[in-house]
Amino acid sequence: MTGARPGRPARLVVIGGGFAGLWAVRALRAAPVEILLIDRHNHHVFQPLLYQVATAGLAAPSIAAPLRHILRRQRNVTVQLAEVERIDPVARQVFAGSQVIDFDFLLLATGVSHAYFGHDDWAGQAPGLKTLSDALKIRARILTAFEHAESCADAGEAQQHLTFVIVGAGPTGVELAGTLAEISRHTLKNEFRRIDPAHARVILVEAGPRVLPAFTPELSASAQRQLERLGVTVRTGLPITHVDASGVRIGAEFVPARTVLWAAGVSASPLASTLGVPQDRSGRVIVGTDLSIPGHPEIFVAGDLAAVSSSSGPVPGIAPAAKQMGRHVARVISARIATKPPPPFRYRNFGLLATIGRMAAVVDLGPLHFSGLLAWWFWLLAHVYFLIGFRNRLVVLIDWAGAYWTYQRSARIVTEEGK
Q: Which residues are catalytic?
A: 175
Q: By C-beta, is 43 or 323 nearer to its own copies? A: 43
Contact 23, 49 (CB under 8 A): no
Q: By C-beta, is 6 or 97 nearer to its own copies? A: 97
Q: By C-beta, is 147 or 218 nearer to its own copies? A: 147
Contact 169, 206 (CB under 8 A): yes
Question: Nearest approach, Cβ of 198 to its own copies (angstroms)?
Answer: 14
Question: Nearest approach, Cβ of 410 to its own copies (angstroms)?
Answer: 5
Q: What is the full DSSP assignment across 258-296?
A: SEEEE----EE-GGGGGG-S-B-TTS-EE--TTSEETTE
- Contact positions vs its own copies (CB under 8 A): 41-43, 56, 59-62, 64-66, 68-69, 72-73, 78-82, 131-133, 136-137, 143-144, 147, 150-151, 188, 190-194, 391-392, 394-395, 398-399, 402, 406, 408, 410-418
Question: Nearest approach, Cβ of 401 to its own copies (angstroms)?
Answer: 10
Contact 271, 87 (CB under 8 A): yes
Question: Nearest approach, Cβ of 220 to its own copies (angstroms)?
Answer: 34
Contact 232, 181 (CB under 8 A): yes
Question: Nearest approach, Cβ of 12 to its own copies (angstroms)?
Answer: 15
- Number of alpha carbons in the 13 Å side-chain half-sphere of residue 181: 24
Q: By C-beta, is 151 or 312 nearer to its own copies? A: 151
Question: Nearest approach, Cβ of 197 to its own copies (angstroms)?
Answer: 10
Burial class of residue 387, CB neighbours in 10 A (0-12, 13-18, 19+): buried
Q: By C-beta, is 151 or 216 nearer to its own copies? A: 151
Q: By C-beta, is 200 or 255 nearer to its own copies? A: 200
Of 41, 81, 78, give the one whose Cα is nearest residue 61.
41
**Phi and psi of 370, rounded to 5°?**
-155, 165
The three-class DSSP label of residue 253 is strand
- Rounded to the nearest 10 degrees, the angle between the axes of helix 319-337 and helix 19-27 is 40
Residue type, 363: V
Calculate the alpha carbon distances from 206 to 48, 130, 211, 324 in Å.
20, 19, 7, 30
